[in-house]
Amino acid sequence: MTENHTLAGPHGDGRIVVQEEGDPSAPVLVFLHSEFGAYDPLPLSEAVLASRRVLQVHLPGWGVSTCDRPFGSLAEMSLALWWALDALGVGRVSLFGHGIGGTVAAEMAAGQPQRVRAATLVAPFGMFDEENPGADVFGLLPRDLVPSVYADPRGEVHAAHFPPPADAHEVGLATIRRVQVLGEASNYLFPIPDTGIAARLYRLAGVPVQLLWGGLDGVVPPELEKLWVEHLPHAESTVLDGVSHMAPYETPEVSAAMLDFQARAGVE
């Protein structure tokens, strides 16, 4: 059963929507979607939904949650998300972030590490390597970008996320949606997706951190792993073969790895 919690924005503008699923009596898992927005269903296995109270916090500006102006940084956005969780009476949590959601999860952990039981970051943005810059998600046409995002550009996951439009009207709606989500992401990742998170990762020294990378990811290349591990030497980092940027949707291995990691971190 899904329940939506809608909160007025912290400054009285817009709204923050938190979608709740799973076991309401279980440990809280906060899921933060990617720069491409949220897709139904959640990329979480039945085992996760049966053992966690899952709160998907829709990032403000991506359509479900709204804001009149972009935040000054992802660190500033993370404060608003903690504020939303405070309003729901949520205490300690585990974090699971994908893409830009992984970056926001890292910012949340840096801001309030004492509240984070464990953090799983899948293909997080935030650092930049000139030799492995990743695909330009803002400049490429969809047909040119898709092979960098999905392991199988013609597979079931891509088809579920982008069903063939029935008519010109649906083509227009899809175009508007793409402009909306990537336009919002550009406020934080354009022109170079170096958000400065590296300077704050020392705050996660006491937080169990798991890093997961798609071996075929052309957006956040797995070669960036070395930069993150350099700043998070205690993190457990794994490159997953055969999947790309949409790894949480492409393989149940992501959910399984997260649950295994959390069990070893004492989250039960």
What are the residue ranges of helices labelled H in the chain?
Answer: 46-51, 74-87, 100-111, 142-149, 156-161, 168-189, 225-231, 247-250, 253-264
pTM (2 decimals)? 0.97
Q: How far apart are CA 127 and CA 130, in angstroms?
A: 10
Q: Which residue has the tokens 């792993």?
A: 225
Contact assessment for residue 194 and residue 128, using Cβ atoms and an 8 Å cutoff: yes
Q: In this structure, what token pair is assigned to residue 61?
A: 């500006």
Output the CA angle 192-224-125, nearest 5 degrees.
45
Q: In this structure, what token pair is assigned to residue 127?
A: 């650092």
Q: State pLDDT tens for residues 152-173.
A: 999 999 999 998 888 999 888 8
pLDDT of residue 193: 97
Span 3-264: which CATH code? 3.40.50.1820
**Residue ranges of the chain with per-residue pLDDT less than 50:** none
pLDDT of residue 148: 98
Long-range contacts of 226-234 (CB under 8 A, 24+ apart): 227/127, 227/129, 227/198, 228/121, 228/124, 228/127, 228/201, 231/198, 231/201, 231/202, 232/201, 232/204, 234/205, 234/209
Q: Which residue has the tokens 């039960």?
A: 268
Q: How far apart are CA 151 and CA 34, in angstroms?
A: 16
Q: State pLDDT tens for residues 194-245.
A: 999 999 999 999 999 999 999 999 999 999 999 999 999 999 999 999 999 9
pLDDT of residue 174: 86
pLDDT of residue 12: 83
